[in-house]
Amino acid sequence: MYQLDLHKKIDDLLKLNPATISVDSVDTLINTNTDARRYFFDQVDENWLNWLWENKFLDVIKEKSKDLTRLSYQTTELDYLVKIAVKKPKEVVDIILAVPFSKDHFNLEVIDRFSWICGILPPNELARVVPKMRDEEWIKLMGPFNRGFEYEKMFENLLKAKEYGAVITLAEAVLFIRTEEEFRSSGKGVTTDNPFYTNNLGQTNVFTTLVSVSEEYYERALSVLTNTLGKVIKLGNPKDNDVFSIGEMFHLFDVDFFDLKLEENKYYSYRDDVRNLAAAVKIMCEKTIGKESINLDEAKRLFNEYITPLPDSRSIWRLKLFIWSLHPEIFKEELKNAFFRAFESENHPWQIAGGAEYEHTLKKGFSRLSDEDQRSYINKCIEFFGKNERFQAFGIDILSSVPGNLITSEEKIKIKKVFKNDLNPGHVPEPSIKSQFAGAVIPQVPPGSEEEWKKPIPEIAEFFRTKWTPESLQSLDTKKDFLHPINAEGISGKMRSEIPKRFQEYIENASLFFEREKLDSHYTYSFLRGVEDVIKEKKTELSKTNWDGLFELFKNIVISGNNSPFDPTYKGRESFDAWLAGWSSVHSAMADALNELTSGSEESSILDFNKYRNQTLEIIKYLLTHPDPTPEEDTKSDNDPFSRAINTARGRAFETFVSFVYRDSANFKEDKIKISKDVKEIYENTLDNEETTAIRFLFGHYIPTFFFRDRDWFKNTISSKIFSEGKKDIFLAAWEGYLTANLYEDLFILLNDLYEKAIDLDESEYTKRKYFKDLDTVLATHIALAFTHFENKSDLFDKFWEKENIKRQKEFISFVGRTCVSRDNADLVIKAEKIQIDRLKEFWDWAIENVKNKEILSEFGFWMNLKSKAFSDEKWVAQNTRKTLEKTGGEIDWNYGLMESLPEFLKVDPEETLKILDLHLKNLNTKEGGGWIRVDEDLLGIFKDLYRNPVTKEGAYNLINELLILGSQRFWILKNALE
Amino acid sequence: MDDRLDPILSEQKSVLTKGFEYSFVGISKSSIDVVDTCVSLIWVMGNKGKVIKPRDIIENIQHTFMSEEIKSQDRFWKEHSAGSLRELVDNHFETDCTRFFKTTPIRSTSEEDREIWEKNRNFKDFLNDLAHFQVGALDKAKIVVNDDSVSEIDEKVFDKICTNFILHLEKLFKFKNR
């Protein structure tokens, strides 16, 4: 029987009264196949509910999940319940209540769909279910599959209906906290460090709803929230100080309870969930303990009942400060103890007094202290924070938070004397870490040094050797502000900002910025970077600059290095609170500055190239002998050769060398050979001595630059050296470098043997290291580019296809498809770039006949595109698409172009289109797990046309029939094509 | 360095990949237009306060894919790109879609509609984990590309996922109500 006829039979059955039908007949009919069952439950209405439930047609929902690692909607009976829940809410809720869940017996899909139903239930019916949700711990059972949308709707509906009791029960059901063991592991798919069972708590609006309950429910809401916060805090780190028994969690580091707001609509991660929980606690504390008319006993009862039991942690301490400050008169004893607690820990006073809350509380509550306590507090403060230089900045902030009128003039004098600073009446309390500044260290120059920078450059240069040495600066940094340290990085930054203002002066005095024994390498480095910045970013007019001073500096470094090599072992060093550049970094900076100077065309150049040519080449020659990178570092590194190369002194020098060669060619405009002897000599010497894959990569990468300047030299002398038969890894690095460069036809021909060798080389023979580009991919790309663009077809192409290599051959087909077919304006590109389109056509025909591997052929997905108009013979494209799909069993790696082009395929060849759809859609539905297609109006339109066409009518009917069995519900829409 | 800066090489016949070794670079302008328009609408209507356009995010990542220099200077370019791409579906994306678009699917309607949103969630989870340097990113990548044999999130895998993500969004926004 056709599936369509079976659908008809079900339609007829459903017209009858269920009471008159035998259970067996329904059972037999709907169990003919999966689609029949699905269709039945899709069509059956709410009047059948009791009959179905009583006759156990819905009993599948009582079964436990077979696989708890995935959630999918397979149970059509649940679709039915979702569908009728609005019409028969009471009956559906009765069924929900009759299906028990426990840790050992539950079904992910059933809970998920029940949750969804709950989102659409009327509030009174929902109120019947929420205790079950809480008691059976649905949110825990669902784990990572929780979403939040349903709960959002539930909270919204309950709140609208003023079902506040149910709101609180639902909040309890949602706010389960993970166990410590679960919290420490990332198991069950919930993100590590997330204390909640869902990654989408913000979506539920649980906190916004909880704080919106009516006054009679305030205390219950406070109870739920504080209880939850307590459990979250307990998940904190182990004790890490001598003040609190639980270490702080980072979730609340940057919170200031005084200005904390509930912002569930601005949600980025579960960290915001914790912050919003804290905000909700704050709000409920304001509404209860902070109520204006509250009396002392009630405030203390609420505090003792809900706040006192919370864990002993710094966050809770800060919360308590906030709560006490709500009624300073009621809590004056607590405030007094809190203020004096700042002196409890000699080592960690900021545990108590750090953050914004302590200071806010001082502002609000200090006046409640007796005069005697006030004097005692201020004196203790001066003594405690004044005696330790480390605490002085902190101490002055605290004293500045005490209302100014409550500090005597004698005390103010004493403060100034001890802290060498005045009180700051405008001081604004800030959290320990401000979220927008967390971790941002901004180095500073010494205070009052602004005038020094206006002095003549030689004087400034002298400061670098005396009072601004990295060591001297450390002693000037008395404040020790972690985020604003005074150090060599601060001075360097300032120098770099000053250089553009007096550029020529700095350049004239450049040689003063190198004195190996007296000036820290970090300052030489910073000077060079400053110069490079100016040139690169054109920060000032440069065309008339006299560069002699800079070349003098370079020369001095070269002489020094030649006399006694610089230590290459470090590029930089950590110095207390700053990173200081070493000599290798200075050499990299030299190369970069030189590169900036020599780059650009003859016309746009800022350097009189010929004047400085020989000096520049000498410096480059020196830099190319720099030991960084060493062969040892090269083998140890876990990075690819290119990334390594450009982060080393010799690598930077090589790039500068290439830049130099570009410029130098202006001197050989009329010559056949466009490269000088001295350049070739340096190139050869460097190559002969080079043993790292990093720099060998660069040799390969820049082959075209040297080849086209002297082809014979390259062919006879260089090629065999770069691609020597010695170490395989060295060879592969140069080859990798070459393949990642643009492709030139002359080189492609010249290096034919190397391509052949590479084709013969198997992936298993590649040395095990990180590659900048996958070798097989770049080889395939080069062969493909040559194939599509070069007029003469190389024999390499045949060789490439003679030896099966799935990865390379897949890449070849896919790359050609992406570059020539499935791209914007493919037809225009083909013309403009003279792509050998006939060759592409021949290749596709050949591949269909000769390539046996389905995986390789499936890459033709990028070719199956009529929208792009790459191929003019559209009928041929349709045929080849069908033929390819026949070979691959309907499988293609990329079906986007094909699906988008279906209307064009239909116009060109309806019969082929039907076959294409037959092959591809049936495959999508049989592919394990991956078959997915959206059957929308566009596809329906295609089927309508196919069914209208007498030639394809029967085929379309048959295909729809088959698709119903294979894909069931997702293809039912196609039945509309038959109308 | 760019060959075009070399006066000699610029005269030679060469062919460039122009980034087409990456499918992300080849995403059509029309696809980007759809995603840009619809995500922009969500950001404006949802008052998200974004200071960047969706198009800029996508085109910037296309540029990153094409630029060897950027990639070699930033070894975490994939992680950083993932962080940017995630912006497109950040916050309450699913809810916002159903709030602002009549034609986007609704999860509870059918398995098919649920699958669309699950795909979306899988993309977001992958991007999120990768952006946060979480080990779970590899497992998420396997789910997204439906291939358990993936052993590394290399350029190819990342390219495929990013491309499929944008095209998935395009399909989502072009979803036609049945």
Which region, left, alpha or beta, applies to residue A53 given φ > 0 means left and ψ of -120 to 50 means alpha?
alpha
Which residues of chain A does B115 touch, with a Cβ-Cβ cutoff of 8 Å?
Answer: 932
Which pLDDT does position A731 carry in this prediction? 95
Mean pLDDT on A740-765: 94
Residue B177: pLDDT band with limits 50, 70, 90? low
Which pLDDT does position B68 carry in this prediction? 83
* A378 DSSP 8-state letter: H
Query: Crossing angle of helices A218-234/A314-326, nearest 10°?
Result: 150
Min Cα–Cα distance to chain A from B82, Å:
15
- 3-state SS of A606-618 is CCCHHHHHHHHHH
Range with lowest mean pLDDT among A339-343, A531-535, B47-51: B47-51
Which pLDDT does position A481 carry in this prediction? 64
Which pLDDT does position A405 carry in this prediction? 92
* A367 DSSP 8-state letter: G
Long-range CB pairs of B121-129 (<8 Å, 24+ gap) are B123/B89, B123/B161, B123/B164, B123/B165, B123/B168, B124/B86, B124/B89, B124/B93, B126/B82, B126/B161, B127/B82, B127/B83, B127/B85, B127/B86, B127/B89, B127/B165, B128/B82, B128/B86
Which pLDDT does position A355 carry in this prediction? 83
- Is the pLDDT assigned to residue A438 strictly greater than 50? no
Q: How far apart are CA A621 and CA A612, in angstroms?
A: 14
- Is the pLDDT assigned to residue A828 strictly greater than 50? yes
Which pLDDT does position A433 carry in this prediction? 61
Which region, left, alpha or beta, applies to residue A507 given φ > 0 means left and ψ of -120 to 50 means alpha?
alpha
CB contact under 8 A, B6 and A894: no
Which residues of chain B does A110 touch, with a Cβ-Cβ cutoff of 8 Å?
Answer: none
Considering CB atoms only, which of B108, B156, B167 is closest to A116?
B108
Mean pLDDT on A609-633: 93
pLDDT, one tens digit per residue, over A156-174 is 999 999 999 999 999 999 9
Q: Which residue has the higher pLDDT, A428 or A527?
A: A527
Q: How far apart are CA A269 and CA A273, in angstroms?
A: 7
CB contact under 8 A, B26 and A72: no
Min Cα–Cα distance to chain B from A180, Å:
20
Chain A residue whose CA is closest to B115? A72
Which pLDDT does position A576 carry in this prediction? 57
Task: Pull the structure tokens for residue A543.
Answer: 């065309």
- For chain A, the average pLDDT equals 90
Centre a 10 Å sphere on the Cβ of residue A355 and count the other Cβ atoms it contains. 26
CA A169 to chain centre: 37
Are β-strands A743-744 and B14-15 bridged in parallel, bridged antiparallel, or unpaired? antiparallel
Q: What is the dihedral of CA A531, A533, A537, A538, to 10 degrees?
A: -10
- Is the pLDDT assigned to residue B104 strictly greater than 60? yes
pLDDT, one tens digit per residue, over A866-894 is 999 999 999 999 999 999 999 999 999 88
What are the backbone angles phi and psi of residue A697, rounded to the nearest 5°? -60, -45
- Is the pLDDT assigned to residue A929 strictly greater than 50? no
Please give the helix or strand (H or E) that residue A925 lies within, else none. helix A910-926
Which pLDDT does position A264 carry in this prediction? 76
Min Cα–Cα distance to chain A from B53, Å:
18
B23 touching A, CB under 8 A? yes
Residue A553: pLDDT band with limits 50, 70, 90? very high
- Is the pLDDT assigned to residue A427 strictly greater than 50? yes
**CB-CB contact of B123 with B117 (8 Å):** no
* A575 DSSP 8-state letter: E
CB contact under 8 A, B13 and A819: no
Which pLDDT does position A72 carry in this prediction? 79
Which pLDDT does position A436 carry in this prediction? 42
Provide the β-strand partners of residue A572. A581
- Is the pLDDT assigned to residue B38 strictly greater than 80? yes
| C-alpha torsion sign, points A849, A854, A859, A865 | positive
Which region, left, alpha or beta, applies to residue A249 given φ > 0 means left and ψ of -120 to 50 means alpha?
beta
Min Cα–Cα distance to chain A from B49, Å:
10
Range with lowest mean pLDDT among A296-310, A422-436, A530-544, B122-136: A422-436
**CB-CB contact of A886 with A917 (8 Å):** no
Long-range CB pairs of A953-959 (<8 Å, 24+ gap) are A955/A911, A955/A914, A955/A918, A956/A914, A957/A4, A959/A914, A959/A917, A959/A918, A959/A921
Which pLDDT does position B108 carry in this prediction? 74
Select from A785, A825, A973 the residue whose CB has the most chain B CBs within 10 Å, as the one to mutate to test that interface.
A785
B176 touching A, CB under 8 A? yes
- Is the pLDDT assigned to residue B90 strictly greater than 90? no
Min Cα–Cα distance to chain B from A654, Å:
11
Chain A residue whose CA is closest to B66? A740
CB contact under 8 A, B134 and A192: yes
Which pLDDT does position A543 carry in this prediction? 82
Centre a 10 Å sphere on the Cβ of residue A433 and count the other Cβ atoms it contains. 15
Residue A539: pLDDT band with limits 50, 70, 90? confident
Q: Which residue has the higher pLDDT, A237 or A77?
A: A77
Chain A residue whose CA is closest to B1? A655
Which pLDDT does position A925 carry in this prediction? 65
Min Cα–Cα distance to chain A from B7, Å:
7
Which pLDDT does position A187 carry in this prediction? 46
- Is the pLDDT assigned to residue A931 strictly greater than 60? no
CB contact under 8 A, A741 and B3: yes
A–B interface: beta-carbon pairs under 8 A: 139
Which residues of chain B does A704 touch, with a Cβ-Cβ cutoff of 8 Å?
Answer: 3, 9, 12, 14
- Is the pLDDT assigned to residue A153 strictly greater than 50? yes
Chain A residue whose CA is closest to B140? A189
pLDDT, one tens digit per residue, over A392-414 is 888 889 999 999 999 999 999 99
Which pLDDT does position B58 carry in this prediction? 97
pLDDT, one tens digit per residue, over A451-501 is 899 999 999 999 999 989 988 887 776 656 666 788 888 999 999 999 999
**CB-CB contact of A475 with A518 (8 Å):** no
pLDDT, one tens digit per residue, over A711-730 is 999 999 999 999 988 888 99
3-state secondary structure (DSSP) of residue A890: coil
Which residues of chain A does B169 touch, with a Cβ-Cβ cutoff of 8 Å?
Answer: none
Which residues of chain B does A268 touch, with a Cβ-Cβ cutoff of 8 Å?
Answer: 90-91
- Is the pLDDT assigned to residue A338 strictly greater than 80? yes
Which pLDDT does position A185 carry in this prediction? 65
Residues 137-166 of B with CB under 8 A from A: 146, 154-156
Residue A700: pLDDT band with limits 50, 70, 90? very high
Which pLDDT does position A937 carry in this prediction? 87
Which pLDDT does position A979 carry in this prediction? 85
3-state helix, strand, coil in chain A (%, to 5): 65, 0, 35
Which pLDDT does position A577 carry in this prediction? 62
Considering CB atoms only, which of B17, B107, B119 is closest to A781?
B17
pLDDT, one tens digit per residue, over A783-814 is 999 999 999 888 999 999 999 999 999 999 99
Exposed/middle/buried for residue A317 (C-beta within 10 Å: 0-12, 13-18, 19+): buried
Which pLDDT does position A607 carry in this prediction? 87
Q: Which residue has the higher pLDDT, A935 or A32?
A: A32
- Is the pLDDT assigned to residue A445 strictly greater than 70? yes
Min Cα–Cα distance to chain A from B21, Å:
6
| C-alpha torsion sign, points B120, B123, B129, B132 | negative
B136 touching A, CB under 8 A? yes
Provide the β-strand partners of residue B15. A743
Angstrom distances, CA of residue A859 to CA of A97, A815, A845, A856, A901: 52, 9, 14, 6, 17
- Single-letter amino acid code for the residue at A814: S
- Single-letter amino acid code for the residue at A166: A
pLDDT, one tens digit per residue, over B4-13 is 678 888 888 8
**Percentage above 70 pLDDT, chain A:** 95
Chain A residue whose CA is closest to B50? A266
Task: Report the candidate in A677, A675, A699, A676 with the shortest Cα–Cα distance to residue A686.
Answer: A699
pLDDT, one tens digit per residue, over A276-323 is 999 999 999 999 999 999 999 999 999 999 999 999 999 999 999 999
Which residues of chain B does A659 touch, with a Cβ-Cβ cutoff of 8 Å?
Answer: 1, 5
Residues 60-79 of B with CB under 8 A from A: 68, 72-73, 75
